[in-house]
């Protein structure tokens, strides 16, 4: 209802290839206007990395693909007003697919290192040392770290848009994406099993034990909880009978699938009142309290690779 002559419309939400021209273009032309003539349409994927202190909107290159050449010109002219580098795509489908490639690349490589973490532990290999060693190669390698699972509004979701489109148009699976999804979804249950092993070593059962999660957001130093692996991890622990609690300085209240989870008052309180603690996200507040965490008598399962101590077991 806001359409008017001369308007430039840009879709930024990540979606499957073809959305801009198959969905938005017909809707805009229902207003009696012609895209590329008196109303202009483009796709430009958002590339925001919440909490990133180095790259923001201004200095992150912006991809722009127009439905027509003039549509692309209009969108480029808009973004060049406040973004340092604007990169022109061949069209909207290429721009849409570029964002999916970026996130699928991360999704698959996270799954790779997550699966390696599982068998490395079983073979008594320190996966964190392995990653640090591989990082010394100055070419041909980009580092990814294991974790309790993937979260956020991009990595767990966006690759499935591409998998959907491949199945819908080509009637074939996108096997890399589906396998990565399977592996990354396996991490919260795997972490829960590691907690069970730690409690067994103390002659304790999961049922009735006090288990606390440190950090329930989907990444460090933010308050965003979307698709956080803490939720399926918390659910698995509750199903196993654990007395679950959490502490996160960025999250005043939190729950698992409609069940409120008690919040510890502080890191010190969490350490004193728990049988085992799971470090899910390495918030800076936890890094600053590293000595207190690592000198505690409470067993800590560190899924972040950021902590060391006699009481620390890393993923």
CA angle 162, 163, 165 (to 5 degrees): 65
Beta-sheet pairing, 210-214 with 276-279: parallel
Residue pair 300/274 in contact (Cβ under 8 Å)? The answer is no
Q: Which residues neighbour 44 within 8 Å (Cβ) at sequence distance 6 or greater?
A: 10, 11, 12, 62, 63, 64, 65, 75, 79, 95
C-alpha span between 206 and 209 (Å, rounded): 5
Q: What is the CA radius of gyration of the chain?
A: 23
Q: What is the pLDDT at residue 150? A: 82
Global pTM reads 0.86
Residue pair 75/44 in contact (Cβ under 8 Å)? The answer is yes
What DSSP element (H or E) covers 285? helix 284-288
- Determine whether 154 is an active site residue: yes
Chunked in runs of 10, what are the mean pLDDT values of the chain (315 residues)?
A: 95 93 97 96 93 93 98 98 98 95 90 95 96 96 91 66 78 85 93 96 95 95 91 96 96 94 92 94 95 93 94 94
Q: What is the pLDDT at residue 195? A: 97
Q: What is the pLDDT at residue 163? A: 74
Which domains are assigned to the chain?
Answer: 7-94 (3.40.50.720), 96-183 (1.10.1040.10), 187-314 (3.40.50.720)
Among residues 9, 154, 191, 289, the one annotated as catalytic is 154
Q: What is the pLDDT at residue 300? A: 96
Q: What is the pLDDT at residue 293? A: 94
Q: What is the pLDDT at residue 309? A: 93
């Amino acid at each position: 209802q806001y359409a008017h002559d001369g308007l430039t419309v840009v879709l930024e939400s990540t979606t499957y290839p073809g959305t801009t021209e198959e969905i938005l273009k017909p809707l805009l032309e229902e207003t009696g206007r012609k895209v590329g003539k008196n109303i202009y349409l483009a796709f430009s994927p958002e590339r925001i990395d919440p909490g990133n202190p180095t790259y923001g909107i201004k200095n992150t290159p912006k991809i722009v693909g127009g439905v027509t050449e003039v549509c692309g010109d209009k969108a480029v002219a808009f973004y060049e007003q406040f973004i340092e580098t604007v990169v022109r795509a061949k069209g909207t489908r290429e721009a849409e697919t570029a964002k999916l490639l970026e996130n699928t690349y991360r999704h698959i490589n996270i799954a790779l290192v997550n699966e390696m973490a599982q068998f490395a532990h079983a073979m008594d290999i320190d996966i964190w040392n392995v990653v640090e060693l591989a990082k010394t190669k100055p070419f041909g390698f980009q580092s990814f770290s294991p974790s309790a699972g993937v979260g956020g509004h991009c990595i767990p979701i966006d690759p499935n848009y591409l998998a959907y489109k491949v199945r819908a148009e080509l009637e074939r699976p996108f096997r890399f994406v589906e396998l990565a999804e399977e592996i990354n979804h396996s991490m919260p249950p795997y972490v829960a099993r590691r907690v069970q092993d730690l409690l067994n070593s103390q002659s304790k059962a999961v049922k009735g034990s006090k288990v606390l999660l440190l950090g329930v957001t989907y990444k460090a130093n933010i308050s965003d909880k979307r698709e956080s692996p803490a939720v399926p991890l918390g659910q698995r622990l509750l199903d196993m009978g654990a007395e679950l609690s959490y502490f996160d300085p960025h999250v005043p209240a939190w729950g698992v699938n409609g069940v409120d989870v008690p919040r510890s008052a502080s890191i010190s309180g969490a350490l004193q009142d728990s049988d085992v603690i799971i470090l899910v996200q390495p918030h800076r507040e936890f890094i600053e309290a590293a000595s207190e965490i690592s000198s505690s008598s409470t067993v800590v399962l560190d899924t972040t690779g950021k902590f060391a101590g006699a009481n620390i077991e890393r993923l």
